[in-house]
Chains A and B, each alone.
Chain A
Amino acid sequence: MTWKVIGKGLPKIDSISKVTGEAQYTVDLKLPGMLYGNIFRSPLPHAKIKSINTSKAEELQGVHAVITAKDVPLNKFSFFQWLADKTILCSDKVRYLGDEVAAVAAVDEETALEALSLIKVEYEPLPAVFDAEEAMKPGAPLIHDKEKNIGFHVERLFGDPDKAFEECDYICEDRYVTGQVSHCCLEVSNCIVKWDSSGRLTIWTNTQAPHTQRQEIARILGIPIRNVRIINSTMGGGFGSKLVIDMKLPIAAILSKKTGRPVRIENSRAEEFSTAKTRYGYTIYVKTGAKKDGRLWAREMKVIGDNGAYHDKGPATLNFSSMMFGTLYNIPNIRYEGNLVYTNKQMGTAFRGFGNPQIAFACETQIDVLANKTGMDPLELRLRNANQSDQMTFCGAEITSCGMKECMEAAARAIGWEEKRRGKGLRGVGLANMVHTGAGGRFYGYNAADAFIKLSDDGTVALITPAQDMGQGSHTVMAQIVAEELGVNLEDINVISNDTDLTPYDLGSWGSRTTFMNGNAVLDAARNTKKEIITVASEMLEANPDDIILEGGRVFVKGSSDQYSFSELADYAINKRGVPISGKGRFVDKLPSGYTIKEGFAKNIPTFAFGTQAAEVEIDEETGEVKVLKVVAAHETGTTINTLMAEGQIEGSVVQGIGYALMEGLTLKNGKVINDGFIDYKIPTFGDIPEIETILIETNDPHGPFGAKGIGEPGLVPTAPAIANAIFNAVGIMIKELPITPEKILKALKEKKGG
């Protein structure tokens, strides 16, 4: 199939506004009369609030409002309301260092900060716990008024693992640890909220899921959903951090209600590091058993997820981990147990990969240890267990398109597997596989999306889609789909997505779902618009509808010189026929028969995306430093909609994965994050990046728009295990705790020599 717009490496449609500084982000907005809010946060990780005195702060000139728990509704809230455990402001107890206690609104930021310093709170410190495994033990300090700190528990069983392990010739058992890491979006989380006199709330904020956040705001404030409108702007990154509201939104709302003025609240970078939500830290116990011939026969995993002080997306994250654990290889006997445990730390939330990078690190490094035991080449072992297209796995996953084998072979070839695997000095190569959703999930019990298109009277196309572009480029993907279907130029398409009053309801941009879900809805809208265009064109051209061609923003009949531009066509439709042209689109992802969310397990995933990464590293034995020389990332895209952007998604993911593998992690001292800036919390810079080779494997998904599936998250999933495996190949040590710092390498090298 040859396409005009699909599959090309086109610049993003918003590139010009971004490269000129014209693009407006939420941090750039200012409203008349706007006040500056700031949040008074707990300085202790766990304590009872004995008294709060705000009188000095209230007296300060320039302060318009000071609020505490007595000024806010004390509805408990969580993303999953049945797990509600957090109020807008703490009334009796604080549960992590940074918990919201009070807030102010003032004429400027300096005054707001000064007012914060005048708030006096008396606390009674309580014993705190910062490690999830410790928090599970009897006698651990209880963080909520519950019998234990385990906030969520899940178990899954397929086959008979106990019996199966007995049948295995090789078994590995290990413990892995991954820590809390920060999203580090360059634009901090921020909002402006205006509570107007009619009782309506307008919220300008950077969000990946405006419609579900709208419901969350209504829920937490106890107001009707219709009273809430959320407006997004250009977004400076998301990566999962902006799916669920944080308390600054309802706090700003209450401050606005009190003052009658719009109120802005913006995280400082230090707040972003030390109080914003993070990737869930996992402690993982894995046991893998294989038969003599390398067939993976049984696998068991126990995850202890560090929830932080309150619930957010943790239960979904733990569940998603289990699905990916069950699907990566088709193993007949599987057991999974997940516990989500409260600690006195900042909360976890979604982060690119959603529980998958954690378990992929454990699963895929253990495969190399296992291969070592069996004497097999780890690539060979993986190939022997690879999934295939049109397959139903033991855990019930319906795999439609699958390029797992192709990804492995491509990555191995590009890294020079055969030759480099033998090692050279302190260099080594390793690879790791991944599976991820390529289309979000059916976790709400359904999965659907809508879109609208109108042909404006000037012949340009306006597309209304709820797909949020946080920088990943969904606006461009959607525009390309329309451009391809309608035969118009990309420049002639306007994408509108930023206002809950205008856009159709949607679950949000997460789970690599926009290309597949919103893309399908947009394609449907474009097809319906095309039908109307053809009706009008056949009348104008006096031709058979079947002969009409749409191309280059014009309609014509093959072989004839008669043609009309889209603006002529729109003009004719509106002014001659009196009927403007538009199209509505809808995509409903069909649920498998007998499906339920709870029992659906891997059936929750509409389509899977596979991938393989291979890494080459060099170790400095003196310093313990790991230098990543090259990463090959071979990923399935179904069909690549935009090569430049698909590569960009993968390159960005790989580099985040390098950060996850080697450098990133929040460090706490008595519950306080001590690396709360980019100086101490290192993310990869220009100096840290290796050569990255991206290979896009096309598998043509039967249900994706033009055969496409999502590629937003997969690139981060296998990077850390590929690097760990390369280190194992280079120097024979397997580090089981992220990040793999030079200290850990040196220690392991020393132990190896000593042993």
Chain B
Amino acid sequence: MSGAGAEKSLTGEAFMHMIKLKVNGHVQELGVKSHQTLLEVLRGPLELTGVKEGCGLGECGACTVLMDGKPVNSCLVLALEADGSEILTIEGLAQVGKLHYVQKAFVKEGAIQCGFCTPGMVMATVGLLQENPNSSQEEIKEGLRGNLCRCTGYVKIIKAVEAAVEMMREGEQT
């Protein structure tokens, strides 16, 4: 669905704007079109296909990344709006092969089936726990409401987030 092919469109006004992003710790400068979304840029030219597209309309949360530390639906953010910001995608979460504790919790609790919602779900969880490290079950449900999963029935995802809260309490950091 994301329309940013390797080849540029030969038609229409191809006004390119240069933007600067810091993505997963690396500064990237690139030309984007005014209507291009952050998701299209991440999955397209930046080839960060760990970021998923489930709807392209802000309705599923699969495309969640952290923008300046806050979870956003990257399909709703224009690339231009992201200019100058710092983006963390699922690819940048594990540090030198060591899984982030939220990732560990998802694996251990069996919170992953097809895994298509997982990158967005994990990033939304990281965002949620940064904001509220002691999230209760109700707060978890509320905080992740925008992220859909068709496979797991959410039960094990909630358990994973609770386990992550616990791990963090016990001082496990990445």
Give A contacts to B, CB under 8 Å.
Answer: 9, 11-12, 14-25, 27-28, 30, 34, 36, 60-62, 107-111, 113-114, 183-188, 234-237, 239, 266, 268-269, 470-473, 644-645, 647-648, 651-656, 677-679, 683-687, 689, 692
Q: Quick one: CB contact mask for B136-169 with A, threshold 8 Å, 1 for yes? A: 0000111011111111111111100000000000
**Docked-complex contact A22 and B116, CB < 8 angstroms:** no
Interface residue ranges of B60-108 to A (CB < 8 Å):
60, 62, 89-91, 93-94, 99, 103, 106-108
For residue B4, CB closer than 8 A to chain A, the reply is yes
**Docked-complex contact B5 and A236, CB < 8 angstroms:** no
Sample of 27 A–B contacts (CB below 8 Å):
A12-B113, A16-B99, A18-B112, A20-B91, A21-B49, A21-B50, A21-B51, A25-B49, A27-B49, A28-B43, A28-B49, A61-B10, A109-B1, A110-B12, A185-B150, A186-B54, A186-B116, A186-B150, A234-B114, A236-B115, A237-B114, A471-B115, A647-B156, A651-B154, A655-B154, A686-B147, A686-B157
Bound Cα distance A647, B112 (Å)? 12
> Most B CB atoms within 10 A — which of A62, A235, A237, A686?
A686
6 other A-B residue contacts (CB within 8 Å) besides A187-B116, A684-B153 = A15-B112, A24-B49, A36-B3, A110-B9, A187-B52, A236-B52
Bound Cα distance A339, B103 (Å)? 49
Bound Cα distance A111, B4 (Å)? 11
**Docked-complex contact A471 and B151, CB < 8 angstroms:** yes
Find chain B residues with CB under 8 A from A266 CB: 1
**Docked-complex contact B110 and A652, CB < 8 angstroms:** no
Closest 8 CB pairs of A and B: A21-B50, A471-B114, A18-B115, A236-B116, A109-B3, A655-B153, A21-B90, A644-B110
Give, as a whole number of angstroms, the nearest-CB distance from A80 to chain B: 28
For residue B7, CB closer than 8 A to chain A, the reply is yes
Bound Cα distance A15, B99 (Å)? 12
**Docked-complex contact B51 and A652, CB < 8 angstroms:** no
Give, as a whole number of angstroms, the nearest-CB distance from A673 to chain B: 15
Find chain B residues with CB under 8 A from A234 CB: 114-115
Find chain B residues with CB under 8 A from A239 CB: 150
Specify the chain B residue showing the minimal Cβ separation from A183. Answer: B150
Specify the chain A residue showing the minimal Cβ separation from B97. Answer: A20
Find chain A residues with CB under 8 A from B118 CB: 18-19
Find chain B residues with CB under 8 A from A471 CB: 113-116, 151
Bound Cα distance A16, B146 (Å)? 24
Find chain B residues with CB under 8 A from A17 CB: 115
Find chain A residues with CB under 8 A from B60 CB: 186, 678
For residue B59, CB closer than 8 A to chain A, the reply is yes
Bound Cα distance A9, B109 (Å)? 9
Find chain B residues with CB under 8 A from A61 CB: 10-11
**Docked-complex contact A678 and B10, CB < 8 angstroms:** no
Chain B interface residue count, CB cutoff 8 Å, equals 65
Partner of B154, one of A20, A114, A686: A686
Partner of A23, one of B110, B115, B117: B115
Find chain B residues with CB under 8 A from A186 CB: 52, 54, 60, 62, 114, 116-117, 148-151
Bound Cα distance A20, B91 (Å)? 6
For residue B18, CB closer than 8 A to chain A, the reply is no
Interface residue ranges of B1-31 to A (CB < 8 Å):
1-12
**Docked-complex contact A268 and B56, CB < 8 angstroms:** yes
**Docked-complex contact A472 and B91, CB < 8 angstroms:** no
Give, as a whole number of angstroms, the nearest-CB distance from A271 to chain B: 10
Give, as a whole number of angstroms, the nearest-CB distance from B123 to chain A: 9
Find chain A residues with CB under 8 A from B151 CB: 186, 237, 471-472, 648, 652
**Docked-complex contact A656 and B153, CB < 8 angstroms:** yes
For residue B119, CB closer than 8 A to chain A, the reply is yes
Give, as a whole number of angstroms, the nearest-CB distance from B99 to chain A: 7
Find chain B residues with CB under 8 A from A647 CB: 110, 155-156
Bound Cα distance A236, B55 (Å)? 13
Give, as a whole number of angstroms, the nearest-CB distance from B121 to chain A: 9
Give, as a whole number of angstroms, the nearest-CB distance from B40 to chain A: 10
Specify the chain A residue showing the minimal Cβ separation from B62. Answer: A186
**Docked-complex contact B107 and A11, CB < 8 angstroms:** yes
Find chain B residues with CB under 8 A from A679 CB: 57, 59
Bound Cα distance A593, B127 (Å)? 61
Q: A21-B49, A108-B8, A689-B153 are in contact. Are A237 and B145 (CB under 8 A)?
A: no
**Docked-complex contact A678 and B59, CB < 8 angstroms:** yes
Find chain B residues with CB under 8 A from A9 CB: 110
Partner of A27, one of B9, B53, B94, B110: B53
Find chain B residues with CB under 8 A from A472 CB: 113, 151
**Docked-complex contact A62 and B155, CB < 8 angstroms:** no
Specify the chain A residue showing the minimal Cβ separation from B90. Answer: A21
Give, as a whole number of angstroms, the nearest-CB distance from B162 to chain A: 13
Find chain A residues with CB under 8 A from B93 CB: 20
**Docked-complex contact A15 and B107, CB < 8 angstroms:** yes
For residue B38, CB closer than 8 A to chain A, the reply is no
Bound Cα distance A585, B11 (Å)? 56
Partner of A15, one of B56, B94, B106, B147: B106
**Docked-complex contact A269 and B99, CB < 8 angstroms:** no
**Docked-complex contact B154 and A689, CB < 8 angstroms:** yes
Find chain B residues with CB under 8 A from A60 CB: 11
Find chain B residues with CB under 8 A from A470 CB: 114
For residue B122, CB closer than 8 A to chain A, the reply is yes
Specify the chain B residue showing the minimal Cβ separation from A28. Answer: B49
Find chain B residues with CB under 8 A from A235 CB: 114
Bound Cα distance A648, B154 (Å)? 9
Give, as a whole number of angstroms, the nearest-CB distance from B112 to chain A: 5
**Docked-complex contact A188 and B5, CB < 8 angstroms:** no
Bound Cα distance A239, B107 (Å)? 22
Give, as a whole number of angstroms, the nearest-CB distance from B76 to chain A: 13
Bound Cα distance A687, B137 (Å)? 11
Partner of A184, one of B3, B11, B90, B150: B150
Find chain A residues with CB under 8 A from B153 CB: 648, 651-656, 684, 689, 692
Give, as a whole number of angstroms, the nearest-CB distance from B155 to chain A: 4
**Docked-complex contact B148 and A236, CB < 8 angstroms:** no
Partner of B150, one of A25, A107, A237: A237
Find chain A residues with CB under 8 A from B56 CB: 268-269
Give, as a whole number of angstroms, the nearest-CB distance from A274 to chain B: 13
Q: A20-B103, A689-B153 are in contact. Are A187 and B5 (CB under 8 A)?
A: no
Find chain B residues with CB under 8 A from A237 CB: 114, 116, 150-151
> Most B CB atoms within 10 A — which of A25, A185, A236, A268?
A236
**Docked-complex contact B89 and A21, CB < 8 angstroms:** yes
Bound Cα distance A679, B54 (Å)? 13
Bound Cα distance A652, B145 (Å)? 16
Bound Cα distance A21, B147 (Å)? 16
Specify the chain A residue showing the minimal Cβ separation from B143. Answer: A686
Find chain A residues with CB under 8 A from B11 CB: 60-62, 110-111, 114
Bound Cα distance A235, B107 (Å)? 18
Find chain A residues with CB under 8 A from B117 CB: 186
Specify the chain A residue showing the minimal Cβ separation from B92. Answer: A21
Bound Cα distance A620, B135 (Å)? 28
Find chain A residues with CB under 8 A from B158 CB: 686
> Most A CB atoms within 10 A — which of B9, B62, B103?
B9
Bound Cα distance A502, B77 (Å)? 43
**Docked-complex contact B55 and A108, CB < 8 angstroms:** no
Give, as a whole number of angstroms, the nearest-CB distance from A520 to chain B: 23
**Docked-complex contact B150 and A22, CB < 8 angstroms:** no
Find chain B residues with CB under 8 A from A21 CB: 48-51, 89-91, 119
> Most A CB atoms within 10 A — which of B11, B52, B148, B153?
B153
Give, as a whole number of angstroms, the nearest-CB distance from A720 to chain B: 15
Bound Cα distance A183, B116 (Å)? 14
Give, as a whole number of angstroms, the nearest-CB distance from B141 to chain A: 4
Specify the chain B residue showing the minimal Cβ separation from A63. Answer: B11
Find chain A residues with CB under 8 A from B50 CB: 20-22
Specify the chain A residue showing the minimal Cβ separation from B113. Answer: A471
Q: A19-B103, A236-B114, A677-B55 are in contact. Are A107 and B10 (CB under 8 A)?
A: yes
**Docked-complex contact B9 and A107, CB < 8 angstroms:** yes
Bound Cα distance A53, B39 (Å)? 35
Q: A15-B107, A686-B144 are in contact. Are A34 and B49 (CB under 8 A)?
A: no
